[in-house]
Every structure is written in structure tokens, then in C-alpha cells.
Chains A and B, each alone.
Chain A
Amino acid sequence: MTETAETPLAHPSIPDFVAEESLPRESRLSRPLDTLIRGVGPVVLALIAGGILLLALGRNPVTFYGDIYQGGITHDAWQDTVMRMAPLLLIAAGLVFIFRANIWNLGYDGQFMLAAAMIAGFAPKLEAHLAVWLSLVLLFLVAGVTGALWTVVPALLKAYSGVNEIITTLMMTFIGLSLANVLVKGPFQDPTINTPQTTALPLSGMLPNIPHTRVHVGILVAFAVILIVHYVLTRTSLGLRLRVLGANPRTAVHAGIGVKRLIVTAFLVSGFLIGLAAAAEILGIWGYVRADTNFQYGDAVIPFVFLARLNALAVVPFVAFYSLLSIGGEQATQNANLPTDFLLLIVGLILLFMSLTEYFGRKRDLGGSYLTAGLAQALRRKAENA
């Protein structure tokens, strides 16, 4: 199979979407306004629709949203919100990095949980022998490498045989989650207790806090990674290669970019960053992993990655918003006597309004797309085959 045939060919007439570079080509709105409407619009609409839904359910939306604010911001609650941001930002960084290349690593759950299980299992043993700070650094690396390794199979299949990575990464997630369970229930099981979980780290073995707060330093790692990813994507040759591949795989081949190696690199980096997310979460908050857990942070992050138009910096406010929603929402849903799943409903509404904004945007000649050309094409092909 030839190189051109392996990568999905972007259709020239579909506006290619590479973050801020490819805002709608012929939008009638000014760029800042357009960005605002497309980014914030769906969120606002989802909150309004959620409010109407609350009214219909006989709850007071003002109280509900007030509770979210209280539970997520006031007193010390903002610290929990900030801590929740750490793994979300790291996953978002991993996704932005690879999505820019128009490659869809949807195996984040598998990569995350496998990395989580690995470090939860190794941490107590490692810290018994090494200094805590050194152990923590090593554990971050172990997590990253585990996440990266879990992308190797989809990466090679995609790069050398053109196998659709959406399918392979999703399938690897099933295996990854199961393998994580095997590890937690098997070699890493805490022998002193009956519940299937790893040995919990003592507080002294966890990530240190930022002075004068309860917030662990994982958030600093996350912000650093976001900045680095943004820099790499916008300023370096690697970033440009990724963007070219993402914008137009045929141009990438034409320009002599080593597409196969680049695909593998993108996967490894993406998996590595998602692994780091697991390290921040486990070493910062939990200290252990219980069997049959799946944080599903990636699923929550994906809509925001698109709302941020694959811009690493723009992801930050969206992730902050979601963290607030999920931390403050726990209290709010309890007070309103609703299941916490109601929060997922709001995320779902955001996705819905995102699609609607997109649809009307296109209809009204605003151009642009949340989907990259390649994904749009893949989806269309799927729809045609169906």
C-alpha cells in the first residue's frame, strides 16, 4: 500500500480545521466574536437549557447553579476544583497534541487506567527503597511510558497499514481496562484487606502540596505541560509537521514529511501525557486504585477540547469550567435530590448545542467546523456505508 493511500485524504473543499488558524474562512463575523460565539455559546445555551430542565423537574435552577458555585468555589472548595483540573488538563494536552495531526486517539481510558494501576502498584514498593521525591519523579515517568506503550499497537497499525485508529484505540481501551483490573486484583492487590485494591500510599508518599494550600503540585505539572504542548505545536518543526499532517495528509507526503514516524510519535506523546494525567490523579488525590474503576475523564474532556478548537491554552478555561461543574455539582445534585448523572446531562447538552451552533453556523455561511477535514470525512464515509 502506498503512503498516500494509508492516510485519509482531506477533501479540499472541506475547510480544514487547525485550531485558530482555520477559523471559518468566510465568516461574516469578526474573528474574536466568532470564537466567542462558537466557544462560549454552547456552554451558555446548555446552562439555560439545563435550567429549563430543572424547572420542569420542579427544582429551582438558581439554587442549583448557586449550589454549584458554592460547592466549587467558596471557602476551600476552589482548591478541589483546581485539583480536579490537573488530570483533565493533562489528558486535554495529550488529545490536543494528536488531534492536531488529525489522528483520533480515543483510547484515553485504557491508557489512563493502565498507567494508574501500574503506578499504584509500584508506588509503595518504590518508595520503600528510594527517596520519596525520586520515587514520585520515576512514577510519573512509569505512568507516561505505560500510557505511551498502550498506544503502540494502534500507532503501528495506523502508520504502516492504515488501520482506522478510532477502532483500534477503542478496542485497546477494553483490553487496557481489563488488564488494569487483572493487575489490581492480582499482583498489586493489597494483601492486608479484602477489597480489591492496591496498597494505599501514606500521605507522606503522595505528591506534596503547593505551600499554604491543599492543592497538590500535579496542577503545576499540568500547567507546565499545557504551555509546553502549546509551544511545541506553534513554534517547533515537530508542531508544524503535525499541523501539516492534520491539515492535509497529501501535502505532508508531498512535502517529504516522514508521515509514518510522525504518526507513531504523535501517538507516543499523546499516550505519555495521558499517562501523566493518571500519575497526577493517583499520586495527588487517591494514593491507590480500586478494581473496576474508570475515571472516564477523557470522555468529559473531549467536548471541551473541540470547543477550544484544539488550542492548548484555550482548553484551560473550559477545563476549569468543567471542574467547577463536577466538583460543585456533587453538592448541588445532592441538595436538589438529583443523581450526579444530571451533570453529564449538562455536558451532553453542551455537545448538542455545539453541534447546533455548528449546523447553523454552516447554514448561515459562517463556515468552519469543529471537526477536522479528516474526521468529517471519516464520519461521512461511515454514514454512507451504513
Chain B
Amino acid sequence: MSEGTRIRMHDESAPHDSPPAAQAPAVELLGITKRFPGVLANDNVNLAVRHGEVHCLLGENGAGKSTLMSILSGMQSPDSGHIRIDGEDATIDSPRRALDLGIGMVYQHSALVPALTVLQNLMLGESRSLRLPVDTARQRLRELASVLGIEIDPNAEVRKLALGQQQQVEIVKALWRGSRVLILDEPTSMLTPQGVADLQKVLVRLKSQGIAIVFITHKLHEALAIGDRISILKSGRLVATFSEEVLRSRTPDELQALIVETMFGEEARAVSGVAELQGEIEGERKRRELAPEPILELAGVSARAEGTGPGVQEVSLALRRGEILGIAGVDGNGQRELAEAIAGQRPITTGEIRLQEASIGHLSVSTRQRLGLRYVTDDRLGEGIVHSLSVAMNLVIKRIGQQPFWQRGIVQQGAVNKLAQELVKDFDVRTPSVAARAGTLSGGNIQKVLLARELSFDPQVVVYNKPTQGLDVKTTRLVRQRIRDQAREGVSALVISTDLDELLEMCDCIAVLYRGRLAGTVENGPDAGERIGELMIGGRAA
């Protein structure tokens, strides 16, 4: 099939030319059930997505959202149930088949090749003819860009684009072959507030083109702002779908109450301060009195980058006892390097790091750890734990060889297990036993293991890198509560996050990291969000 015919085909079938039977939903999932060993990931799920609507899929981690969508995009096949596309039964047995049926997917993390240009990325799937159809592709990109109301330089290297723009390229890619169903998996998690607004505009335009959009999120306020209908998944079952009428006929507050009730049932009342799971962060935080002298001080600290990033360049900041200092910024602006430099995992090239007035810039990771400087890494699976070791061992992995867990180099399994059992209880780690392999735990529980490890044995300063990324609402709440509780006890926290709402909710002060430098620091308050948003994209105008 040549490029030309495919585009024409798309044009013929494009919804705005000949609306495909408005009554039949674009996609219908009927009685979808999918079992994994020990888990019922989807339990008789019925879901219909109409043309020209944004259908939000809300649910906690592990509720089955991803499984359901991977079934729709052909990555998994259901154990039972079937799928109808435009009212016709369809078998989606491969991602290619899904694309052929017009189902495009945008993943949470970029699936683009950073070193290639936008156009090259878009043509990656075009392996059918030997010669790359550059001109037709350029034409197609122009066409889609005008549909989406965006501007993309076809020759820009993807790695040089902002994350929001990369996502736009992903959307173009998903629509490239004439998709009529677009699945977005937590699309806002990496975006700035401006990026979210841009995305929203794009979605509105897509809707008007009759594209059916599935929008997966666990942020309630987003679902309410963007969704025409909202479906809620809970432990594999679709517990409710709120129609447009319901959404329109109630006030936002009523809706939130309703949805929270549906999502958590009885637990809703137990979730204190539901506001935070709703993303409401209006500045009711009390200004806290903090001692003026810093406990952790960075003076002109620079560190080399990992890969092509900017690294850390002459960052100076001071953290007072009990303070929660946020580091905002779009991902990839030196966050990880900064955290690693403080933790001692990355050598600093210039500057000085002082902990309680002692210079620690030259000390080893383990010495800093012993001094009470802790680091909760963002890469839980790839760095935080050893999958093959037990939960108990992972809890003492930063104290290998130390008393009382090791005596003369010999492990004291009793002491290790005792500590592990206490920590598991304290931090509510859900694990069959402390001897279970850490790799078998869910992401949220792994994060609890990391917290337990870093917050035990007298922490002074804790560096958190994206502490709640990918966690469900309950765990998120628990993590934030821990950070706050610790701060009240005088443990300072440096919270690095790309989720601005999170920082606004917790932090006393928020600094913005832009291309490895601190672009500015903002006291938290009612207008902090806007000012930070501006700093986050700081140099872009230049």
C-alpha cells in the first residue's frame, strides 16, 4: 500500500467527512475479563467510548486501567469478552491490528527516538517501501498539525523539544495512520501547567473532529476539567460511568464528593483532607516558624550531567531545619543530578555542600547516609531496590556490614528480620512476609520500603526525588503525610518533583530548576503557582 492511498483512505473514513453511524460507539468493550496469576486485572468490564468525546478513565494504580488499555491496543488479549469497533466485532490480536483498526496510543513516557528528527520519528513505522516517503510525510504532518492547531518543526531533533511538544509529536504519531480512537495514558504527569493547558486545547480540537479519546488519569480535578464522561475502575471492575448529564447537572464540589465516594466507598471518610487527592491546593497552609540557620547548604554546586542533560550548574540553596523545600522544574533539567550530587552518588565539580556546617562534598555516600543525609530515589525499580533480594535485606542494604545486623561480617538474620518487621508494620508495607523478594512488590509498596529505609536511624535531611510519581492516591497521601510529619519533627526535606500541585501543597519554599540552574525561589502562597510556572519555562522566550 502506498503512502498516498493510505492518506486518501484516511480522508474517506475521517469522521468529519462521513460521520460513521453516530449511534454506534467508536469502541465498545463488552465483558472484558483478564486474569493474571493471582490477580483478576479486569473483571467483566463494559466500556463504550463515543466519537467526539473525551472519556476519562479514573482509578488507582492496579485498578486495571492499564490492562484494559493494553487489551484495546493489542498488547494483551482478553481471557473473555469482545471488542466492537464502530459497531462491528473486531479481534485485536496485535498492536499492528489495533493501528489498522484506527486505535492510537500515547504512552505516559515518551516512545520517541530522541536523536531523530520529528519527521524521522513519524516515519519509523513506514517500513513497507524501501524509499522513505519524505514529501508525503511532510504533507501529512502539516495536515495533522493544522487539525491539532499546533506548530511542529518537522526537522527538529526530538530531544531538543520540550516535553509538551514531544507529547504533541506522540499524538501526531498516534493519529498518523488515521486513528479514530486515541488513548492517552496519564498524559499530564510530565507537563507544566502551560503544557496541560495546551494539551487541553488539542483535545478539544480532536473532539470536534469526531475522534474518540480515552484519557487515563488518577487526578480527579483533571478528569473533571477535561472529561465529557468519567468511568471509574476499582480492583478490575468498572464501578461507575458518569454521564454528561450527571457531570453537567452538579456542582464541582458535589461531583468530587460523589466520585471520591465511588472510588473509595467507606474509605473516603478515612482519607483525611480529600482536597489533596482532588488536587485542590489553595493556600491554606500555615506559615511555619523556622529557625534561620541552614542545616543543609549548597554553595555554587556543579555536577556533570548524565547523558545529554544540562547537569547541575552553580546551584546554591539553603535548607533550614524542619523546612520542606521544593525543587520544581520540567523533567530533565538537572533534577536527578542535583539529588545525586547531594547524596554523594555524583561527584561535584565545583562548589561546596555543607551539612550542619560541616563540609560533606567529598564524603562517600555511606558516610553521608550515616550523618543523616538520606536520598529517596525516583528510580525505585532501577536503583532503589535489588529485585532478587528479600524485602528485609533491601531495608538494610544501606547498612551492610554495620551493627547489629552484621557481626564480624556475618549477617544476623534475626536482627535484620526484627527491624524489617517493625518497619514493614510502621510504614504499612503490604508484603506476604519480610522474606518475600522485593521485586514482587507493587510500586507503592516498594516506595514504602524506600521510605522506611531512608527515614529510619535518625535522618536529618531527606532528599526526595519525585516521591509520589506513579503512586496511587492512598500511598501518595501517606508519603506526603510522612514528609510533613517528619518536617514537624525537625527533619528537613528537599522535595524534587515535576508535579507542581504536589509542591504547592507541601512546601514552605519552592525553587525552580531550569537547565541545571536555579531560576529562582518562590515562597509558597496563593500566587506561587503562576510565578513558578513562569520560572519553569523561564528561558524559553529568549
A→B interface (CB under 8 Å): 2-5, 9-10, 12, 15-18, 21-22, 25-26, 235-238, 240-241, 243-244, 247-248, 250-251, 253-258
In contact, B409 and A244 (Cβ under 8 angstroms): no
Distance of A175 Cα from B383 Cα, bound (Å)? 38
Distance of A92 Cα from B415 Cα, bound (Å)? 33
In contact, A237 and B375 (Cβ under 8 angstroms): no
A2-B346, A4-B306, A256-B366 known; A237+B37 contact, CB < 8 A: no
In contact, A251 and B384 (Cβ under 8 angstroms): yes
Answer whether residue B401 sits at the interface, using C-beta atoms and an 8 A cutoff. yes
3 tightest A-B contacts by CB? A256-B366, A256-B365, A237-B401
**Residues of B with C-beta under 8 A to A251:** 383-386, 397
A235-B411, A237-B400 known; A250+B379 contact, CB < 8 A: yes
Distance of A5 Cα from B365 Cα, bound (Å)? 16
Q: What 0/1 pattern do residues 404 to 444 of B give for CB contact below 8 A with A?
A: 00100111000000000000000000000000010110000
10 contacts between A and B (CB under 8 A): A2-B347, A4-B340, A236-B410, A237-B410, A240-B397, A244-B386, A248-B386, A256-B344, A256-B364, A258-B364
Task: Give the contacts of B367-418 with A (CB-CB under 8 A).
Answer: 367-369, 375, 377, 379, 381-389, 393, 397-398, 400-401, 406, 409-411
Q: Interface residue count for B (Cβ, 8 Å)?
A: 39
**Residues of A with C-beta under 8 A to B377:** 254
In contact, B37 and A26 (Cβ under 8 angstroms): yes
By beta carbon, the residue of chain A nearest B379 is A250
In contact, B382 and A250 (Cβ under 8 angstroms): yes
In contact, B304 and A2 (Cβ under 8 angstroms): yes
By beta carbon, the residue of chain B nearest A18 is B388
**Residues of A with C-beta under 8 A to B389:** 21, 240, 243-244, 247
In contact, A256 and B346 (Cβ under 8 angstroms): no
**A378 shortest CB reach to chain B, Å:** 17
A2-B304, A236-B411 known; A254+B364 contact, CB < 8 A: no
Distance of A241 Cα from B37 Cα, bound (Å)? 32
In contact, A4 and B400 (Cβ under 8 angstroms): no
Distance of A107 Cα from B410 Cα, bound (Å)? 30
In contact, B400 and A16 (Cβ under 8 angstroms): no
By beta carbon, the residue of chain A nearest B402 is A237
Distance of A206 Cα from B377 Cα, bound (Å)? 57
In contact, B345 and A237 (Cβ under 8 angstroms): no
In contact, A256 and B386 (Cβ under 8 angstroms): no
CB contact between B382 and one of A26, A244, A248, A257 (< 8 Å): that residue: A248
Distance of A255 Cα from B381 Cα, bound (Å)? 14
By beta carbon, the residue of chain B nearest A232 is B409
Q: What 0/1 pattern do residues 65 to 89 of B give for CB contact below 8 A with A?
A: 0000000000000000000000000
B→A interface (CB under 8 Å): 37, 304, 306, 340, 343-347, 364-369, 375, 377, 379, 381-389, 393, 397-398, 400-401, 406, 409-411, 437, 439-440
**B111 shortest CB reach to chain A, Å:** 14
Distance of A17 Cα from B386 Cα, bound (Å)? 11
By beta carbon, the residue of chain B nearest A237 is B401
Distance of A17 Cα from B389 Cα, bound (Å)? 11
In the complex, which of the residues B379, B400, B401, B406 has the most CB atoms of chain A within 10 Å of its own CB atom? B400
Distance of A243 Cα from B384 Cα, bound (Å)? 15
In contact, B437 and A21 (Cβ under 8 angstroms): yes
Distance of A3 Cα from B365 Cα, bound (Å)? 11
A3-B345, A251-B384, A255-B398 known; A240+B365 contact, CB < 8 A: no
In contact, B366 and A25 (Cβ under 8 angstroms): no
**Residues of B with C-beta under 8 A to A3:** 345-347
Distance of A10 Cα from B379 Cα, bound (Å)? 13
**Residues of A with C-beta under 8 A to B410:** 235-237
By beta carbon, the residue of chain B nearest A20 is B388
A235-B410, A235-B411 known; A254+B384 contact, CB < 8 A: yes
In contact, B409 and A237 (Cβ under 8 angstroms): yes
In the complex, which of the residues B375, B389, B406, B437 has the most CB atoms of chain A within 10 Å of its own CB atom? B389
**B345 shortest CB reach to chain A, Å:** 5
**Residues of B with C-beta under 8 A to A258:** 364, 366
By beta carbon, the residue of chain A nearest B369 is A256
A4-B345, A254-B345 known; A238+B409 contact, CB < 8 A: yes
Distance of A288 Cα from B382 Cα, bound (Å)? 51
Distance of A257 Cα from B364 Cα, bound (Å)? 9
By beta carbon, the residue of chain A nearest B367 is A256
**Residues of B with C-beta under 8 A to A5:** 306
**Residues of B with C-beta under 8 A to A238:** 409
By beta carbon, the residue of chain B nearest A2 is B346
Distance of A244 Cα from B388 Cα, bound (Å)? 9
**Residues of A with C-beta under 8 A to B379:** 250
Distance of A157 Cα from B536 Cα, bound (Å)? 42
Distance of A360 Cα from B298 Cα, bound (Å)? 53
In contact, B409 and A247 (Cβ under 8 angstroms): no
Distance of A91 Cα from B346 Cα, bound (Å)? 36
**Residues of B with C-beta under 8 A to A248:** 382-383, 386-387
In contact, B388 and A247 (Cβ under 8 angstroms): yes
By beta carbon, the residue of chain B nearest A22 is B388
**Residues of B with C-beta under 8 A to A25:** 387, 439-440
By beta carbon, the residue of chain B nearest A238 is B409
Distance of A18 Cα from B368 Cα, bound (Å)? 29
Distance of A253 Cα from B383 Cα, bound (Å)? 9
In contact, A236 and B409 (Cβ under 8 angstroms): yes
**Residues of B with C-beta under 8 A to A17:** 388
Distance of A185 Cα from B234 Cα, bound (Å)? 78
Distance of A276 Cα from B381 Cα, bound (Å)? 39
**Residues of A with C-beta under 8 A to B343:** 254
**Residues of A with C-beta under 8 A to B364:** 256, 258
**Residues of A with C-beta under 8 A to B384:** 251, 254
In contact, A255 and B382 (Cβ under 8 angstroms): no
